[in-house]
Amino acid sequence: MNIFRLLGDLSHLIAIIILLHKIWHSRSCAGISGKSQVLFALVYTSRYLDLITTYVSLYNTLMKIFFLASSYATIYLIYVKFRATYDKNHDTFRIEFLILPSVLLALLINHQFSFLEVLWTFSIYLESVAILPQLFMVSKTGEAESITSHYFEYHYDLIAIVAGVVQTVLYCDFFYLYITKVLKGKKLQLPA
């Protein structure tokens, strides 16, 4: 464990807490893409299956459980508890277009062709694009709630590096949309 990873983990933790807190207190999940949250739950589920097979440390186990539990809790809040406030008409990204290529790529490009390794690789690929439904939603509505952040560590791993670069580009796009649409309040409007 180094300071960068710890800060990354804690930022992630805080981002999730802010998101859950905001949904809970506003009693609304307007502006949040349920589809992105489903993809993140899929990312954590496919990556943290090693919870069953390998014990690393109490910190590691608790963080993995927290990320899993909080992503399923977010899905519950969006699709069950505050379903009425979920903006599903604007959350129309076809997630199969992200899941299927990620599965295919994980089957083709991986370090080792084994069940857990392919799932781990799938989770890395999927994480890099899981924000796309949220990005799509912001570009349509010009609204955004909290953004969850994700990170990669400086481990020389080509799969993680390429996925990280793709993810960074997408997040830059998100930042651009946030500035131009959300902060400046410019909404695209169709002529009457």
Partner 1 sequence: ESGTDLHDEL
> Binding to partner 1 by residue 186, rule CB under 8 A?
no
- Is the CB of residue 50 less than 8 Å from the CB of residue 173? no
- Counting residues that bind partner 1 (by CB under 8 A) gives 26
Q: Least separation, in Å, of the C-beta of 1 and partner 1?
A: 7
Query: From the list 25, 58, 89, 112, which residue makes contact with partner 1 (rule: CB under 8 A)?
Result: 112
- Residue located via tokens 């406030």: 85
Which region among 27-35, 51-59, 76-84, 127-135 touches partner 1 (by CB under 8 A)? Answer: 51-59
> Binding to partner 1 by residue 103, rule CB under 8 A?
no
> Binding to partner 1 by residue 57, rule CB under 8 A?
yes
For 1-10, b/e burial (b = at least 16 CB within 10 A) is eeeeeeebbe
Query: From the list 7, 14, 17, 56, which residue makes contact with partner 1 (rule: CB under 8 A)?
Result: 56
Residues in 27-46 at the binding interface with partner 1, rule: CB under 8 A:
none
> Binding to partner 1 by residue 155, rule CB under 8 A?
yes
Residues in 62-91 at the binding interface with partner 1, rule: CB under 8 A:
63-64, 67
> Binding to partner 1 by residue 111, rule CB under 8 A?
yes
Q: Least separation, in Å, of the C-beta of 56 and partner 1?
A: 5
> Binding to partner 1 by residue 124, rule CB under 8 A?
yes
Residue 16 is encoded by which pair of tokens?
Answer: 């999730």
> Binding to partner 1 by residue 143, rule CB under 8 A?
no
